[in-house]
Chains A and B, each alone.
Chain A
Amino acid sequence: MKRRISLAGTEAEVELLREGEAWTARVGETSLRVERIGEREGELCLRINGRQLQLQWAPDEGGAWICQGGRSYRVEAARKTGPRRRELAGPGEGALRSPMPALVVAIEVAEGEEVEGGRTLIVLEAMKMETKVAAPAGSWKLRRLLVAAGQQIARDQELLELEPRGPSELRLAERRPIGPEGDD
Chain B
Amino acid sequence: MAFAFSKVLVANRGEIAVRIIRACREAGLGTVAVYSDADSAAMHVRMADEAYRLGPAPSAESYLSIAKILEVARLSGAEAVHPGYGFLSENAAFAEAVRAAGLAFIGPSPEAIRAMGDKAAARAAMEAAGVPVVPGYHGRPGVEALGGVSRGAPDDAELLAAAAGLGYPLLVKARAGGGGRGMRVVREAGELPAALVAARREALHAFGDGSLLLERYIARAHHVEFQVFGDSAGRVVHLLERECSVQRRHQKIIEESPSPLLDDGLRKRMGDAAVKAAKTAGYSNAGTVEFIVDPETREFYFLEMNTRLQVEHPVTELVTGIDLVRLQIRVASGEALPFAQEDIRGRGHAIECRLYAEDPERGFMPSSGPLLRYVEPAGPGIRVDSGFAEGDAIDLHYDPLVAKISCLAEDRQAALARMRGALSGTAVAGPTTNLEFLLEVLEAPDFAKATMHTTWIEENMGGWKSKSGEPSPELLAAAAIILGMAAESRDPAGPSDPDGKGDQRGLGGPWSADDGFRAGRKR
Q: Spell out A's residues near B (CB within 8 Å).
A: 1, 3, 5, 7-10, 12, 14, 16, 18, 21, 23, 25, 27-28, 30, 32, 34, 36, 38-39, 41-42, 44, 46, 48-49, 51, 53, 55-60, 62-73, 75-77, 79-80, 99-103, 105-106, 123, 125-131, 152, 155, 179-184
Answer whether residue B55 sits at the interface, using C-beta atoms and an 8 A cutoff: no
Chain B interface, number of residues (Cβ within 8 angstroms): 75
Point out the residues of chain B lying under 8 angstroms from A77, CB to CB: 483, 498-499, 507
Tell me whether B482 and A57 are in contact (CB under 8 A): yes
Point out the residues of chain B lying under 8 angstroms from A80, CB to CB: 499, 501
Point out the residues of chain A lying under 8 angstroms from B400, CB to CB: 127
| Complex Cα–Cα for A127 and B358 (A) | 11
Point out the residues of chain A lying under 8 angstroms from B249, CB to CB: 129, 182-184
Interface residues of B in 453-492 (CB under 8 A from A): 466-471, 473-483, 485-487, 489-490
Tell me whether A7 and B479 are in contact (CB under 8 A): yes
Picked from B426, B468, B487, the residue with its CB within 8 Å of the CB of A73 is B468
Q: Most A CB atoms within 10 A — which of B180, B468, B479, B490?
A: B479
Chain A residue nearest to B202 (CB atoms) is A130
Apart from A44-B485, A60-B486, A105-B201, list 17 A-B contacts with CB within 8 A: A1-B509, A5-B483, A10-B470, A32-B477, A36-B516, A44-B478, A44-B481, A48-B474, A57-B429, A59-B372, A59-B486, A63-B498, A65-B429, A67-B429, A71-B435, A80-B501, A184-B180
Please provide the 4 A-B residue pairs with the shortest distance between their CB atoms, ordered closest to farther. Answer: A65-B429, A67-B427, A182-B363, A64-B486
Tell me whether A1 and B510 are in contact (CB under 8 A): yes
Tell me whether A32 and B363 are in contact (CB under 8 A): no
Picked from A65, A126, A129, the residue with its CB within 8 Å of the CB of B430 is A65
Q: Which one of B66-74, B335-343, B391-399 is at the interface? A: B391-399
Point out the residues of chain A lying under 8 angstroms from B426, CB to CB: 70
Interface residues of B in 214-234 (CB under 8 A from A): none
Tell me whether B424 and A72 are in contact (CB under 8 A): no
Assuming A48-B478, A64-B483, is B471 touching A56 (CB within 8 A)?
no
Tell me whether B430 and A58 are in contact (CB under 8 A): yes
Tell me whether A180 and B521 are in contact (CB under 8 A): no
Point out the residues of chain B lying under 8 angstroms from A64, CB to CB: 479, 482-483, 485-486
| Complex Cα–Cα for A29 and B436 (A) | 28
| Complex Cα–Cα for A104 and B479 (A) | 41
Answer whether residue B313 sits at the interface, using C-beta atoms and an 8 A cutoff: no
Q: Spell out B's residues near A (CB within 8 Å).
A: 57-58, 86, 179-181, 183-184, 201-202, 205, 249-250, 362-366, 368, 372-373, 375, 390, 396-400, 423-424, 426-430, 432-433, 435-436, 439, 466-471, 473-483, 485-487, 489-490, 498-499, 501, 505, 507, 509-510, 515-517, 520-522
Tell me whether B396 and A127 are in contact (CB under 8 A): yes
Q: Most B CB atoms within 10 A — which of A103, A128, A130?
A: A128
Point out the residues of chain B lying under 8 angstroms from A7, CB to CB: 468, 471, 475-476, 479
Tell me whether B476 and A14 are in contact (CB under 8 A): yes
Picked from B184, B482, B499, the residue with its CB within 8 Å of the CB of A55 is B482
Assuming A18-B515, A58-B430, is B478 touching A5 (CB within 8 A)?
no
CB distance from B102 to the nearest CB of A (A): 32
CB distance from B153 to the nearest CB of A (A): 21
CB distance from B15 to the nearest CB of A (A): 15
| Complex Cα–Cα for A103 and B364 (A) | 18
Tell me whether A75 and B181 are in contact (CB under 8 A): no
Tell me whether A48 and B373 are in contact (CB under 8 A): no
Tell me whether B478 and A58 are in contact (CB under 8 A): no
| Complex Cα–Cα for A181 and B362 (A) | 7
Assuming A1-B509, A59-B489, A67-B429, is B250 touching A8 (CB within 8 A)?
no
Tell me whether A62 and B499 are in contact (CB under 8 A): yes
23 contacts between A and B (CB under 8 A): A14-B479, A18-B510, A25-B473, A27-B473, A27-B476, A28-B473, A32-B473, A36-B520, A53-B478, A60-B372, A65-B372, A66-B475, A66-B479, A67-B428, A68-B478, A80-B501, A100-B366, A103-B58, A106-B201, A179-B365, A180-B363, A182-B365, A184-B249
Assuming A14-B476, A53-B478, A184-B180, is B515 touching A125 (CB within 8 A)?
no
